[in-house]
């Protein structure tokens, strides 16, 4: 991947320049990605000259916007390798997608004494909804440990599964460690005991080619804002036969067939799960984001980000005061601790150098406890990242070391 190609990517992102015109070295893409001009322009046009509601209006602009909105659903279906666009539910984000599954499929299928399996590295959004469901139903949560190199231990998962296991819910890529799950093996293990597999794909969707048939999971969730799209919209993919059997979650307009005071009937999936006026402009912008990512190729992006993560790990390893976390083949995410310096202090000093990292527990407090630290510093790469960002980060770390001497 040439330096020229990387620079051209930076030029596509107006957010990568400070207000004074200096380069901004953005290394927090795992939290949220910067937006390319193509996405910004698509959303501006949808909010402006193209704007109208969808599914309801008989006037031409509403009909055109409805076509655009449903085209976005078809684009997402193609992007993830869905069997049909009926398997795509638009939600506010991955958090809402997981809560939706817990509140609908979970309430209908999880009973007292049933077991739900999570892993040590899960984001809070893939822990708390299942705890709430377990408290409601009397189910039990089992926690799958990690391997020595901080990957989900699928051999241990096999030993945890029982005939009472109803659901396994795991991250495709850890938002802290960058470790990648073998989803197909996890699916085979879950299905061997009749359980379903939900995958948190927030970190995978922006950098890996997705094929639901090949992965063979049952639910897959991701957020648009990590995929170079807007906030406020995400995707739940689920097998069509599962979606059709799930009861509705939120009630209101658009999710109904017929409403009467003596009873209401509901629309089929996915409309059944999209109550109220949907995220119209956000869906249009998500379509543009997927087109932008597809233009560059997800496999190339994964290779690019893995290379940068490897380079950064090598440079950090040369500093005796740094502890690295996660596997060597991290998917574009590097978490580390600098001896004698709290991650928040490091992040503050780096900000003075126009370098943005994330410092904290990254919504993964059980993982921090496992790692034996209160927080880590995390640098995460995107398609716009290059070696200049690593150089700026290392300069900032060296300055921090001098300050804390």
Residue 403, phi then psi, degrees to nearest 5: -65, -40
DSSP helix/strand/coil, 379: strand
Strands 322-325 and 333-338: antiparallel
Cα angle for residues 246, 75, 305 (degrees, 5° grid): 105
Spell out a b/e string for 113-148, using b for 16 or more CB atoms within 10 Å of the CB, else e. ebbbbbbbbbbebbbbbbeebbeebebeebebebee
Residues annotated catalytic, as ranges:
363
Distance CA 313, CA 2 (A): 21
Q: At what angle do helices 128-137 and 94-101 cross, to 10 degrees?
A: 20
- What are 11's two structure tokens? 């030029």
Handedness of CA 370, 371, 375, 377 (dihedral sign): negative
- What are 348's two structure tokens? 């503050």
- What are 398's two structure tokens? 């060296």
């Amino acid at each position: 991947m040439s330096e020229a190609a990387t620079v051209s990517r930076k030029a596509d992102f107006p957010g990568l320049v400070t207000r004074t015109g200096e380069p901004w070295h953005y290394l927090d893409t795992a939290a949220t990605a910067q937006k390319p001009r193509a996405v910004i322009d698509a959303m501006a046009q949808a909010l402006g000259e193209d704007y109208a509601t969808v599914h309801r209006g008989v006037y031409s602009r509403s009909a055109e916007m409805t076509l655009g909105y449903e085209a976005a659903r078809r684009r997402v279906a193609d992007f993830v390798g869905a069997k049909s666009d009926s398997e795509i539910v638009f939600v506010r984000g991955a958090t809402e997608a997981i809560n939706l599954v817990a509140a609908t499929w979970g309430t209908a299928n999880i009973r007292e004494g049933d077991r739900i399996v999570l892993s040590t590295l899960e984001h809070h959004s893939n822990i708390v909804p299942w705890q709430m469901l377990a408290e409601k139903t009397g189910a039990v949560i089992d926690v799958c440990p990690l391997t020595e190199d901080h990957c989900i231990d699928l051999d241990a998962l096999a030993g945890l599964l029982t005939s009472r296991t109803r659901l396994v819910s795991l991250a495709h890529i850890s938002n802290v460690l960058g470790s990648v799950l073998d989803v197909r093996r996890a699916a085979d293990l879950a299905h061997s005991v009749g359980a379903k597999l939900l995958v948190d794909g927030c970190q995978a969707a922006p950098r890996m080619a997705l094929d639901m048939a090949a992965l063979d999971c049952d639910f897959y969730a991701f957020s648009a804002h990590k995929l170079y799209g807007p906030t406020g919209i995400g995707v739940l993919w689920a097998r069509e036969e599962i979606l059709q059997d799930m009861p509705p979650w939120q009630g209101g307009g658009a999710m109904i067939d017929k409403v009467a005071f003596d009873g209401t009937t509901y629309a089929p999936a996915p409309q059944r799960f999209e109550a109220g006026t949907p995220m119209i402009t956000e869906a249009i912008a998500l379509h543009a984001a997927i087109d932008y990512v597809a233009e560059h190729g997800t496999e190339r992006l994964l290779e690019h980000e893995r290379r940068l993560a490897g380079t950064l790990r090598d440079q950090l390893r040369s500093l005796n005061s740094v502890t690295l976390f996660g596997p060597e083949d991290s998917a574009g995410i590097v978490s580390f601790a600098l001896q004698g310096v709290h991650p928040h202090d490091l992040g503050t000093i780096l900000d003075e150098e126009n370098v943005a990292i994330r410092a904290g527990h990254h919504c993964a407090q059980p993982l921090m406890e496992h790692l034996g630290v209160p927080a880590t510093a995390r640098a995460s790469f995107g398609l716009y990242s290059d070696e200049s960002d690593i150089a700026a980060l290392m300069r900032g770390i060296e300055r921090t070391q001098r300050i804390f001497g």
